A and B are shown apart, each in its own frame.
Chain A
Amino acid sequence: MQISQALAFGGPYRAGGLVLAVMIGAILGCSSEPAKFEPNRIAMYKAELSLGTKLDPTYQVQPIEKILTETFGTPDKPDLSLWDPKKLVPDLAEERADIQTEYDEIKAELDKALKDPDLDPEDRADIEADLADVKKDLDAVDKQIAAVEGLVQLDMLQMAAGPYGSAEDGTPRGLYRQHCVHCHGITGNGAGPTAAFLNPYPRDFRLGKFKWKSTTTGAPPTHDDLKRVITNGVPGTAMPSFKLLPAEEIEALTQYVTYLSLRGELERNLILDFSDIDVAVLKPAGMQSEEEKEYVESLSADELKEEQTGLKEELAELSDPEIFLPDYLAPIVTKWAFADKNVTDVPEKPEVVLDESIVHGRDLFFKKGGCATCHGQSALGDGQTAEMFYDDWTEEYYDPKNPEHLEEFLALGALPPRKLQPRNLRLGNFRGGRRPVDVYWRIRNGIEGAKMPAAQQLTEEEIWHVVDFVRKGLPYDSLSQPPEHVQENVRVRN
């Protein structure tokens, strides 16, 4: 009986095994194919919508991919061979060469003078002082160039890139794929396999925007800002702390996140510029929109030829590293390399009696600070919140006033839009860190990409009062059972 049963089931089981074998084969087959950065289809589709026509694969989409691969390499093999400071920061490189020449001249003068047995000690001191001055200038320029060169370094990127494992000498490889890829995705688009199940969604690096930072709105985060987020995680979200990793590995990941951000920003700018070039005359007939077809048909054979030649030249120019490095990559890289310039100075916290500071802070929270408008009378995040607020990453593809193309964007991999909520300040949990300085930065600079504005109307002292009120002056509600609430304006309407 049992035997026959086994036999009866033998057939389908064997078939199942076969399917399994095929599946394993397929998976292995896939994994042996090199990992690829995904094109930013959302930005491309957005460009297509505003143009009313499709981007041309040969003359628009492929050149963008080619430039990106030349400038950044692939997920398995980062490549920075084009990153020459002479091209990225030509002004600095030139300045350095000039100062170096000056330095060499003074040095030669000094060497000559030192050979003179009758050298006046005062003259010697003068020349030496000159030399020291020039050396100082030289060091200052070197420091700036070092900031550009140090932003992303190949050996660090190699530790983070590629499949998980280690090199022959034991240095780790594939840290990004080991720790980050399942949420942030291979391209850093914040759409890894787990992304859809997380709230908030993982960060999409490609806009180059980060929330938890010390710099002013519109400026990229500093290296230390990114490192802090990776080290400490983002409390209250799925982003864990990587404090237990060796310092060098955290450094490698920080640089890799920077690398993906720079790449994403370059891609978006290229999409914008390539889509602005009218390639109708080069498009194959099937790809043209009605309007483009009409236009091309209106041209004589000679005109068509002339336009095609001119256009190909223009496109070739844009794809030339001599053009795209200084025009496109350099502005993004310098912005990041010198992010330190935009760090908000935090004055020392004044010595105050805490209770008094909290009273001031409460007053500012309701009046001059305007905090209660969104965070609510009781700071539960239940103020009169507009129902149409989404963050900048969502607004890349979703315009709540014009939602008609949402389905198409979702089909391209965009995550379903989620409304932005003002933070409930009574949970004792601050995503960007709960040190006084973290809260100070949030209030002073606002939150990049979110709706929280910079409270530029408050003085430094006033901000410290609000910091005290927010950190120490609010009742504490347990994280697991926050009080139920309905937004004020919804409450009033119903």
Chain B
Amino acid sequence: MKLMQLGLMLVALVGLSAQQATAQEWGTVKGRFVVDGKAPTLPQMDVTKDQAFCGAKLPDPTLQIDANGGLKNVALWLYLDRGATAPAVHPSYAEADKKPVVIDNKNCMYDPHVATVVVGQPVEFKNSDPIPHNFKVEGFANPGMNNLVPVGGVFETKFENEERYPMNASCSIHPWMSAKIVVRELPYMAVSKEDGSFTIENLPVGKHKLQIWHEVPGTIKELVIGGKTVKDRKGLLEIEVKAGNNDLGDIKIAAGDLK
């Protein structure tokens, strides 16, 4: 019953946004997360089983910083206050949100390490390794799952509820493996790339709050943007989106906060 209502609401929402598309102006937000200072180097992870294939050690994927200080795998998503109405969704997302998100097991590591998924979007848990893996996914709003994915296999699923913070995926066979899955109702979200850069396309023009998160500290409670320090316990950053491109520039996160 609830689902049907939700479905109707979504249909209404899509209809609404399609109507508004002509009048609504959109802006794309870009930026780059940079580590300020010397971040700790994480020791390599010990491989305790299937060493013949996985090797004896694997790099720890939780903290990845490039030569220019760019921080990979910072997730950010549009944050709505309790009871706030959701902004319009740009029509370009309609198709994109139907495409499956693939989370693969490659060389005893998850690829990607941080994934973003829209509620209802198909997710494919894949295993490209020659050894069996399994996905144990735990969140709060969604029921947990734990499925074995054989060599070359795929497990398809969908998440029906928004998660306030990313879900955790792990492998019951290989304890060092873990991935994070951001599940949101709205498609306005991103994960920073190798160089720390991110893009959220086609946000409706106006004021928005972005919630910023990284696996190590959780929500980013303090950052420096445009020379200004922003502190927020929930990792919220208020931005004003103008039509066209909005470059937030370098967003600095203190190395000390990544311990």
Contact = CB atoms under 8 A, between A and B. Distances in A.
Q: Do A and B come from one complex?
A: yes
Given A217-B145, A453-B136, 5 more contacts: A91-B5, A451-B172, A453-B146, A454-B145, A456-B147
B138 A392 contact: yes
Contacts of A480: none
Determine the interface band of chain B, counting residues with CB < 8 A from chain A: 20 to 34
B50 interface: yes
30 contacts: A51-B233, A52-B221, A52-B233, A53-B233, A91-B2, A217-B143, A218-B144, A272-B140, A272-B164, A278-B234, A294-B231, A295-B231, A370-B132, A370-B173, A374-B172, A384-B48, A384-B50, A385-B49, A386-B175, A389-B172, A389-B175, A451-B136, A453-B134, A453-B172, A454-B145, A454-B148, A456-B155, A457-B148, A457-B150, A457-B153
Nearest to B168: A395
A373 B136 CA distance: 16
A414 B39 CA distance: 33
A276 B5 CA distance: 27
A312 interface: no
Contacts of A78: none
B234 A456 contact: no
Interface in B223-250: 231, 233-234
A184 to B, nearest CB: 22
A218 B159 CA distance: 12
Contacts of B136: 451, 453
A368 interface: yes
A199 interface: no
Interface string A465-494: 000000000000000000000000100000
Interface in A77-95: 91-92, 95
A218 B150 contact: no
A189 B132 CA distance: 35
A219 B143 contact: yes
Contacts of A451: 136, 146, 172
B149 A452 contact: no
Contacts of B146: 217, 446, 451-454
Contacts of B145: 217-218, 454
A450 to B, nearest CB: 8
Nearest to A490: B48
Contacts of B49: 373, 384-386, 489
A489 B142 CA distance: 34
B151 to A, nearest CB: 9
The 9 A-B residue pairs with the shortest CB-CB distance in the complex, in nearest-first order: A218-B143, A451-B172, A384-B49, A386-B175, A370-B132, A453-B134, A91-B1, A453-B148, A388-B175
Interface in B142-201: 142-150, 153, 155, 164, 172-175
B149 A373 contact: no
Nearest to B62: A401
Contacts of B149: 457
Given A91-B1, A370-B148, A386 B48 contact: yes
B145 to A, nearest CB: 5
A95 B2 CA distance: 13
B173 A373 contact: yes
Contacts of A388: 48, 175
Nearest to B138: A392
B122 interface: no
A387 B175 contact: yes
Nearest to B170: A451
Contacts of B155: 456
Nearest to B233: A278
Contacts of B135: 453
A291 interface: yes
Contacts of B144: 217-218, 392, 448
